[in-house]
Every structure is written in structure tokens, then in C-alpha cells.
Amino acid sequence: MKKQPKPRVAFFDFTDCEGCQLQFANMGQTLLELTELVDIVNFREIMSEAGQDYDVAIVEGAITTDNDVVRIKKIREKAKVLVTLGACATIAGVNGIKNRRPLEAAKKTVYGEKGALVNTIKAMAVHEVVTVDYAINGCPVYVPEVVAVLKCLLMGKPYVVPNYAVCVECKMNENVCRYEKDQECMGPVTRAGCNSWCINNGNRCYGCRGLVDKPASDAAKDILQKYGLKVEDILNSFTLYNDSMGEKYDQEFK
């Protein structure tokens, strides 16, 4: 029987820190096993070749310039499957901070009077510009979820991103709630899928995976009730991630 050619995978980055690709590059044995199933033709962090013939595009980073818009559209045209990797690509990530102010004001804050010369647009998640087939959330991505998504991709099945709060995973992991320790935590409104990674390691949730679909109704209500919190209180607690948080807040509470 004729052997099927392996899918060719290429990585691309836009506006980001490349930390999610680094997570991928550090997968060790899993990465080696993956290369038995796919041909990686373009991955700047681990190889010097930069092949332009690919079936699967794995895209990291937010879209922040007109050139980015043109480039991601070309990548989409060529790729049979497009995967977004990390918060910058899935929710605009920390880049979304600039969207809270008028663009000209943001440019002036960063570049001073030279800001007018800078080519930049609103920071956008990749799905705001082109169709995305698989999204891997997180800043950085959580490797077990990367593996789960890749398995679905290789089997041609959809990956369903959880739409319940991190608190659900946190309670299953039997963590002491950060609110017990008088610390704020975004877990009640943040989309699960990281197995409450930060709380398991003594930290709190900063909301890097973005919000559950409808925070007002999908938040972990029992936690809110227990600690006398409102969804609005939590949404105002952390503003690192992201622009879409503001939009969801506007849709639900204004």
C-alpha cells in the first residue's frame, strides 16, 4: 500500500515574544515523536530551513500592522489548516492593551512625537482577520493542551476549547482558593483548559486564556457567591489580558 505523505507544518510569528514557540520547541521527546507524524518545514527557533510549501500553518502573535493583515491572508490562502498558538494569536494577548486608548495616543505614549511615523493598527487576534481551524490559548501555551490539539488535528477531528471557568479545574486539583488568602484571582471568569496551572504552582490566575463566553452567566457562580464577589469586580481586577475582555465587559454590563 502506498504510504501517505506526512503533513508539512510551518510556524509563523507576528507580534509576540515567541514564548509559545519556545514551549513547543521545548517539548523534548514529544516533539521528536511528532516529527514521525509530520514534516516540520519552517520553524525558526529550531531549524535554519524556511520552507514555504506547507499544509498546516501554526501562527503565533497578534496582527498589529497593515502588512500583518496582508501576510496572514497569504498564509491562510496557502494553508489547508491554520492553528493559532498562544494568547497573542487567540485573543491579541498583552498587545491588546493598546486598544484601550485611541491609537494615536498609544503611539505617542510609546514613541513620543515620532509616533505619527509608526505603522500600526488596532491589535487583533488572528481569527478577527482570517478563519482559524484550531486555537491553542494561554500565555504561554500549556503543553498538554498543545498535544491534545495536535492529536485532534492529525485525526481530522475538531478540538473543543472548554467553556467553563478555571475554578472548575482548580477545585478538582484541590487547591486552596486564593481568595482564602485575600488574593484576587481571575479564575471564576477565565476559560479553563490549563488545568489551573498557575494556582497549582502557588500563583493566581491572571486570565491569560481569555474569558469564558458569557462571563455574566458562565462564571463560577459558587465561588463568586462564597466570597461575595460580582463578575464586574473580577473583570476590573486584572487588565493584562486583553482587549476582548473590555468588549465582553461592554456587551454584558453597559
- The contact set with ligand SF4 (CB under 6 A) reads 16-20, 60, 86-88, 93-94, 138-140, 166-167, 170-171, 175, 177-179, 185, 187-188, 190, 194, 196-199, 204-209, 220, 223
State in angstroms the smallest separation of the CB of 136 from ligand SF4: 10
Residue 33 or 222: which CB sits closer to ligand SF4?
222
Task: Identify which of residues 223 and 231 has a Cβ nearer to ligand SF4 in the complex.
Answer: 223
88 vs 116, beta carbon nearer ligand SF4: 88
Q: Which residue is nearest to ligand SF4 (CB)?
A: 187
Q: What is the strand order of the sheet 39-42 is part of?
A: 39-42, 8-13, 56-60, 81-85, 134-136
Amino acid at 239: T
145 vs 148: CA distance, rounded Å: 5
Return the C-alpha cell found at 173.
Answer: 486539583
At 90, give phi and psi (nearest 5°). -90, -30
Return left, alpha or beta for 175; rule: phi > 0 is left, psi -120 to 50 is alpha, else beta: beta
For residue 86, count CB atoms less than 10 angstroms from its CB and return exposed for 0-12, middle for 13-18, buried for 19 or more: buried
Q: How far is the CB of 179 from ligand SF4 (least distance, A)?
A: 5
Work out how close the CB of 236 gets to ligand SF4 at its nearest, in angstroms, rounded to a whole number. Answer: 15
Cell of 38: 509530520
Minimum Å distance from CB 91 to ligand SF4? Answer: 9
Decide whether 146 or 177 has the Cβ nearer to ligand SF4: 177
Q: Tell me whether residue 104 or residue 180 sits nearer to ligand SF4 (CB atom).
A: 180
> Nearest approach, Cβ of 36 to ligand SF4 (angstroms)?
26
Beta-carbon count within 10 A of 215 CB? 23
Nearest CA among 25, 19, 77 for reference residue 208: 19
Minimum CB–partner distance for residue 8 and ligand SF4 (Å):
23
Pick the closer one to ligand SF4 by CB: 21 or 104. Answer: 21
